[in-house]
């Protein structure tokens, strides 16, 4: 039995074993388990993610290259070195097996992982002796049910779709990335890791389009009337009926006619609105909500959710479903969760209902239900990140069984010398589902006193506020993810990774996404010389064709041939324009490096620039003041030697020195005060840094 990860192997072995406990073995650091089920001996062996990867058939670092092969991942990536021992152990143990079971996650990636393990590590004949286990949680109940209803064959639709996706993504990615890298080297002799692809290109193009609108935006002045009403000794803001006044003289006239005047309530409008409970979480909604509440990037949320899934605390996270199948016993899950003190009272209230009917969304995933708690209680203490995501998933699950929230909005029209102002109030009449989803839903109330039509309202203040129209808002990781979902590019499994790649390549920067000169250069050059790469239509077409492979309407060969035919003329055009493209990339990279090396003005000497500099002796990087060379300032400080450094444009609240952000070293980026050695706030989480490690 092949599982996707060691932790999954242990859970499956524990769930299926008829004897007291599984017999654990370990070879070359790879754990595996012997169990007995219905008198049959089963060996449960884990992979560790993708043990095999797509690679080039033949040698040479050039393009175009369309011939691919599958090879052990450790042969093409240093980061995958640990996969070698897993392949070695699986290959050895497979020789003793009579039958095989794919018990990896039931999705394209999981099916692909098991297929490669069976074909290449166990030997191709194993494919005809293999069965498929399908489960959505790693609870004992689901694992047992999945084993008792094994599919007689592998899930070939998912496997073929997975193979095709990996091969097409590799063909597009390797050819286009090599084309850019080689054109840069040819034009300037410079090397930098550059990339684009069939999903990465259109995503970056959307961000570039927004950035251009922001940079070309010309603010237009307008004026607003600010007024404050005095009612029973309390102050309440009044909103002028015309929010934007485009002529200043008109605003001044309104002010003169309203200043020092009283108003009369001319109309009172009351409206009740019903807010239905939220729909269950799919992966996109979970990532979006985690960003809104915790500022977790989409990839960080997915990693945390996967850990909770492997601990059997939540269902499989890579799902697009918002509908629960009848097979899930939601009442039993709630009863089990009531064992957690912080939820017990709310769950008791829900269980008192005669019927528990969850809110359902429109999206449906035939393979998996929405993300929900399994009912299992944590076996170990969760870390802060895991606790936050687990709490978010549990409270969302409770909320979908809640009653609608009833909200009352009050709009009071106040006539001040012929000018209409509005006094706005709102309150919650029935909290409904929001009581279960707190603190992840904001319900700010504005309670107004009892007011009557014809009542006089005194003004405490009227004034003119100078304002300017705002440019379009910048994207953030959450909105980029939502954009990709809405445009139907990428998959549940790959979208977060694409966003991370755009950051790591230096194309975008900042939590509020800003295009770098390099990002703009890549977009401008691709738009000019091979605009098809940025086409969202092309990406959608390929996505649709791969979906058709999954339901066996198209074959892998057909789709790959079509993809190659679309890519070939793009690469031919690129070849003809290599020198111009390379020159443009060279200029952008030089500009980017200059921009990235300047941190800000030195707070000590006040006129020097803090820049990232490399030591001639040690070749290590540090931050120093430009006035060092004139003898005016000697500030310097060591910084982490790995990772990308971003300027945050924020200053430390303790010492005033700039704060930088480091990406690509840990699982999540972190902020650091560059004066970390002497900063008074060194122990604060925002500025603390392990200086002794530098």
115, 236, 240, 316: which is the annotated catalytic residue?
316
Please state the φ and ψ torsions of residue 98, each to the nearest 5 degrees. -100, -30
- 399 neighbors 436 (Cβ within 8 angstroms): yes
Q: Quick one: tokens of 443?
A: 């319900």
H/E element holding 421?
Answer: strand 419-430
Q: Quick one: tokens of 643?
A: 């990772």
From the CB of residue 242, how many other CB atoms can be counted at a distance below 10 Å?
A: 14
Cα–chain center distance at 329 = 30
- 532 neighbors 566 (Cβ within 8 angstroms): yes
Can you tell me the distance from the alpha carbon of 665 to that of 9, in angstroms, rounded to the nearest whole number?
29
Kindly give the pairing relationship between strand 100-102 and strand 130-132: parallel
Residue 81 per-residue DSSP state: T
Going by C-alpha positions, the residue among 548, 559, 565, 491 that lies closest to residue 164 is: 559
Alpha-helix residue ranges (DSSP H) falling in 362-513: 384-399, 434-437, 477-487, 495-504
Residues, the chain, total? 694
**Cβ partners under 8 Å of residue 254, min gap 6:** 225, 240, 245, 419
Task: Mark residue 602 as left, alpha or beta (left: phi above 0; alpha: psi -120 to 50; beta: remaining).
Answer: beta
- 666 neighbors 681 (Cβ within 8 angstroms): no
Can you tell me the distance from the alpha carbon of 509 to that of 503, in angstroms, rounded to the nearest whole number?
6
Sheet holding 670-673, edge to edge: 644-651, 658-663, 670-673
Residue 449's alpha-carbon distances to 6, 226, 372, 389, 629, in angstroms, are 62, 21, 42, 40, 68
Cα–chain center distance at 540 = 20
Residue 291 bears catalytic tag: no
Packing angle between helix 477-487 and helix 200-216, nearest 10 degrees? 120
- Angle (nearest 5°) at CA 132 between 126 and 135: 150
Q: Which residues are marked as active site? A: 316
């Amino acid at each position: 039995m092949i599982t996707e990860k060691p932790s999954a192997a242990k859970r499956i072995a524990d769930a299926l074993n008829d004897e007291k406990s599984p017999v654990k073995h370990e070879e070359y650091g790879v754990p595996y388990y012997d169990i007995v089920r219905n008198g049959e001996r089963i060996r449960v062996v884990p992979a560790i993610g993708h043990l095999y990867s797509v690679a080039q058939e033949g040698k040479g670092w050039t393009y175009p290259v369309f011939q691919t092969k599958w090879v052990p991942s450790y042969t093409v990536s240093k980061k995958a070195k640990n996969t070698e021992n897993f392949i070695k152990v699986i290959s050895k143990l497979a020789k003793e097996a009579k039958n095989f079971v794919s018990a990896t996650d039931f999705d394209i990636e999981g099916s692909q992982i098991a297929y490669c393990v069976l074909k290449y590590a166990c030997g191709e004949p194993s494919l005809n002796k293999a069965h498929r286990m399908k489960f959505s949680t790693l609870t004992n109940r689901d694992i047992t049910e999945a084993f008792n209803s094994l599919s007689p064959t592998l899930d070939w639709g998912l496997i073929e779709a997975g193979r095709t996706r990996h091969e097409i993504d590799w063909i597009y990615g390797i050819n286009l990335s090599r084309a850019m890298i080689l054109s840069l080297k040819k034009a300037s002799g410079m090397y930098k890791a550059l990339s684009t692809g069939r999903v990465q290109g259109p995503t970056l193009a959307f961000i570039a389009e927004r950035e251009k609108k922001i940079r070309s935006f010309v603010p237009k002045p307008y004026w607003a009337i600010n007024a404050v009403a005095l009612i029973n000794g309390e102050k309440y803001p009044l909103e002028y009926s015309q929010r934007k006044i485009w002529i200043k003289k008109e605003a001044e006239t309104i002010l003169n006619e309203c200043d020092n005047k009283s108003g009369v309530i001319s109309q009172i409008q009351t409206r009740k609105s019903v807010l239905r409970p939220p729909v269950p979480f799919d992966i996109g909604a979970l990532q979006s909500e985690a960003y809104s509440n915790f500022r977790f990037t989409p990839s960080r949320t997915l990693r945390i959710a996967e850990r909770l899934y492997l601990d059997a605390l939540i269902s499989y996270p890579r799902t697009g479903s918002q509908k629960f199948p009848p097979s899930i016993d939601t009442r039993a899950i709630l009863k089990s969760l009531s064992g957690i003190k912080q939820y017990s009272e709310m769950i008791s209230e829900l269980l008192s209902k005669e019927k528990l009917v969850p809110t359902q969304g429109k999206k449906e995933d035939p393979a998996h239900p929405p993300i929900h708690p399994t009912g299992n209680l944590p076996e170990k203490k969760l870390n802060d990140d895991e606790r936050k995501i687990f709490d978010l998933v549990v409270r969302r699950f409770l909320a979908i069984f809640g009653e609608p929230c009833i909200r009352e909005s009050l709009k009071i029209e106040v006539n001040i010398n012929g000018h209409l102002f509005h006094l706005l109030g709102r309150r919650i009449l029935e909290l409904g589902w929001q009581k279960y989803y707190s603190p992840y839903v904001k319900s700010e109330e504005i309670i107004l006193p009892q007011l009557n039509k014809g009542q006089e309202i005194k003004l405490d203040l009227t004034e003119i506020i100078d304002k300017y129209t705002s440019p379009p808002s910048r994207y953030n990781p959450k909105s980029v993810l939502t954009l990709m979902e809405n445009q139907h590019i990428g998959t549940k499994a790959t979208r977060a990774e694409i966003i991370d790649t755009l950051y790591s390549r230096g194309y975008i920067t900042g939590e509020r996404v800003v295009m770098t000169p390099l990002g703009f250069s890549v977009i401008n050059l691709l738009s000019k010389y091979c605009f098809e790469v940025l086409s969202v239509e092309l990406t959608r077409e390929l996505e649709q064709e791969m979906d058709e492979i999954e339901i066996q309407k198209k074959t892998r060969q057909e789709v790959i041939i079509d993809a190659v035919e679309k890519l070939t003329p793009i690469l031919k055009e690129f070849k003809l324009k290599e020198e111009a493209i390379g020159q443009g990339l060279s200029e952008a990279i030089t500009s980017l490096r200059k921009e990235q090396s300047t941190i800000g003005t030195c707070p000590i000497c006040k006129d020097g620039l803090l820049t990232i500099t490399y030591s001639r002796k040690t070749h290590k990087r540090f931050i120093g003041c430009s006035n060092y060379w004139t003898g005016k300032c000697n500030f310097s400080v060591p910084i982490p030697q790995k990772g990308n450094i971003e300027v945050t444009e924020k200053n430390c609240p303790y010492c005033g020195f700039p704060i930088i952000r480091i990406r690509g070293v840990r699982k999540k980026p972190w902020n650091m005060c560059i004066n970390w050695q002497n900063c008074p706030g060194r122990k604060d989480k925002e500025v603390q840094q392990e200086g002794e490690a530098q």
